[in-house]
A and B are shown apart, each in its own frame.
Chain A
Amino acid sequence: MDTVILHKENLNEFLKSLGDIRLVAPVAENGKTRFEVVEDVDKAVIVLDDYTASPKKVMFPQTETLFSFKNSGAGFDTAAGTHPPVTVVFGIRPCDAKAFTVLDPLFSQDKEDPYYKEKRESTILVGNACTEPTNRCFCPSVGGSPGSTEGLDVLLTDIGDEYHVEIVTDKGKELLKGSETVLLDAPKDKRKAKEEVVGRSLAKIRRQVDLKMMHEILPGVFEHDMWKEMAEKCIGCGICTYNCPTCHCFDIQDEGSTATGRRIRVWDACMYPEFTLHASGENPRPDRSARLRNRMMHKFTYYPTNMGHIGCVGCGRCIELCPVNIDLIEILTRVREVINE
């Protein structure tokens, strides 16, 4: 892996040197930080220490056109095709980058999802190592690290006045070709500086969860009343799914009329009763406890069974953003208590 150094004052120069590429970065707007397209690097307020948003939508937009259609009288004509522009996601967290590696097998298995695939292939991920993990982070418990390069093409680590820049993949190497003037050779001791930063971050992570054998343990508590206890305060708002970097469930809806319109997919949430409601009125997951249970089991039993990896990267957003303080770690801890009872 190649390593270089970028002086902080050269950050904007660096971003401009990436060339004629669509840049997506965490920008502050009206007090909120979101990953948005940056048109002008000098005007945008890029915020690298706000952990609120994940850039999941870059690969899997909240609303996405599958195709448009027109009824020509001689049948339906459909037009699809996205051809997404080459995009750099700058400032993505290691956990959120790992989330894409979690989602990759789902979207590529069996029948490949062309919308996700095209965007994934034309996107380069330039990460930002976590220096200030939040009090809800637990990535080490799920095999992550604040300085992990997993899923990333380039990783920046703030080591004081400079960024330590790791070029992880060929895609990353290709991206940085035009940035030579701002990227300096890295002396050997910079590696140690990065490790120290990551070590300090790790020391700040307080929360942890024991996932040993969890995928096998969970089915054993399927019928237990603990799900009713845990879901008692759930208001079914679905915020846990909307902010989860690995939640991928969606609905397909039609807009327009039968003459002309578009078929779209939109994020959906397993926490809503309508998600599984049959037209007959039958609902296989009729109450919040069944839905909460399915969400937990999907992430920690069903997803690893099917995809070989748990559906969680330890970002803790579901914990932080839940309006009634439902806590994934508390649930998994309770599962262990119940099994040991």
Chain B
Amino acid sequence: MSSNPYIPFSAVIKDLRQETDGARPIKTFTVEFKDLKTWDRFSFRPGQCAMVGIPGVGESMISICSSPTQTGYLQFSIMQMGKVTTALHELEIGDDITVRGPYGQPFPLEQWKDKKILTIGGGIGQAPLRPIINYVLDNRNDYASLNILYGARSPKDLVFLHELKGFAESNTAKVHLTVDREAPGWNDNVGFVPQYLLDLKPSPENTIAVTCGPPIMIKYVLQNLVDLGFTDDQIYTTLENRMKCGIGKCGKCNVGSVYVCKDGPVFSYAQLKKLPADY
């Protein structure tokens, strides 16, 4: 079993948090491995993913949304979408799941030391950015500043809202929230994420910008970052594709000659530009 990459680890759900409701609700799962020795074989970095599954139903590739600085557990924020995520949403605290991984290349947070970090998220796209935020906050002296720009359709579609507000109140990070349309009780910005980015006009100087969200949002954010003077090496994003094996063999997640599961999901804009427009 030790060398078989298809066999998942057993884990148990320790906590569940309903992030959003509606037709496609999002829940954050906090899970622990059943066997503590699993941690010897599951060493991850922010940006990496794991196959979360239920034997008898299947597995889905989900980004790990906790930071390795948070030890002893993993967190996954999962939107109810298809067969597997629907089954996951039916589970309760104490139920078993499986975890396989970690997969992919992480954000190069070591290289980003002493830089200003700007995350730009939309909807559930905030989940892959969360480990960056948590990692930077846990190593606050290593980074010049942390700016979080995050938007969703409406206030009730924003994930991690309680903790983002906490960061803003304690002034540990600058948090810029936006929703697509006016909503009762909403006092923050109204407008799409790419436009709000232009309004905020962050300086590209010594800054790394990381974005994740719906494809259309990513497209305009990339464009606007370039317009703001960011170079291709200062911009990062994280892609998703349908995946099954997680180890670059099943052939589903390729974009050109790279596999999102093992060569991604993290790509700099410089890397992304070299890929065929097949994602």
Tell me how far the C-beta of B124 lies from the nearest C-beta in chain A, rounded to whole angstroms.
10
Bitwise interface map of B from 35 to 57 toward A, beta carbon under 8 Å scored 1, else 0: 00000000000000000001111
**Are A284 and B98 in touch, CB under 8 angstroms?**
no
**Are A71 and B245 in touch, CB under 8 angstroms?**
no
**Are B257 and A302 in touch, CB under 8 angstroms?**
yes
Tell me how far the C-beta of A240 lies from the nearest C-beta in chain B, rounded to whole angstroms.
14
State which of B4, B257, B277 has its C-beta within 8 Å of the C-beta of A80.
B4
Cα(A280)–Cα(B249), bound, Å: 23
- Which residues of chain A come closer than 8 Å to B85, judged between CB atoms? 279
- State the main secondary structure of chain B at its contact with A: loop
Q: B17 an interface residue at 8 Å Cβ cutoff?
A: no
Tell me how far the C-beta of A210 lies from the nearest C-beta in chain B, rounded to whole angstroms.
22
Question: Residue on A with the closest CB to B24?
Answer: A280
**Are B57 and A250 in touch, CB under 8 angstroms?**
no
Interface size class of B (residues with CB under 8 A): 35 or more
**Are A259 and B257 in touch, CB under 8 angstroms?**
no
Given the known interface contacts A256-B56, A285-B278, A302-B254, the answer about A280 and B248 at a Cβ–Cβ threshold of 8 Å is no
- Which residues of chain B come closer than 8 Å to A276, judged between CB atoms? 241-242, 252-253
Q: B215 an interface residue at 8 Å Cβ cutoff?
A: yes
Cα(A3)–Cα(B279), bound, Å: 53
Question: Residue on A with the closest CB to B254?
Answer: A302
Given the known interface contacts A249-B252, A256-B56, A268-B250, the answer about A76 and B245 at a Cβ–Cβ threshold of 8 Å is no
- Which residues of chain B come closer than 8 Å to A248, judged between CB atoms? 249, 251
Q: A306 an interface residue at 8 Å Cβ cutoff?
A: yes
Which chain A residues have a beta carbon within 8 Å of chain B's beta carbons?
66-67, 69, 71, 75-76, 78, 80, 106-107, 109-114, 219, 222-223, 248-254, 256-261, 263, 265, 268, 270, 275-280, 282, 284-285, 290, 294, 297-298, 301-302, 305-306
Q: Other CB < 8 Å A-B pairs besides A261-B55, A279-B85, A301-B257, 19 of them?
A: A75-B10, A76-B8, A78-B7, A80-B6, A80-B7, A110-B247, A110-B262, A113-B247, A222-B276, A248-B251, A249-B250, A250-B250, A254-B58, A259-B56, A277-B242, A278-B241, A279-B60, A298-B254, A306-B257
What are the 5 closest A-B residue pairs judged by CB atoms, nearest first? A249-B251, A279-B82, A258-B56, A279-B81, A302-B257
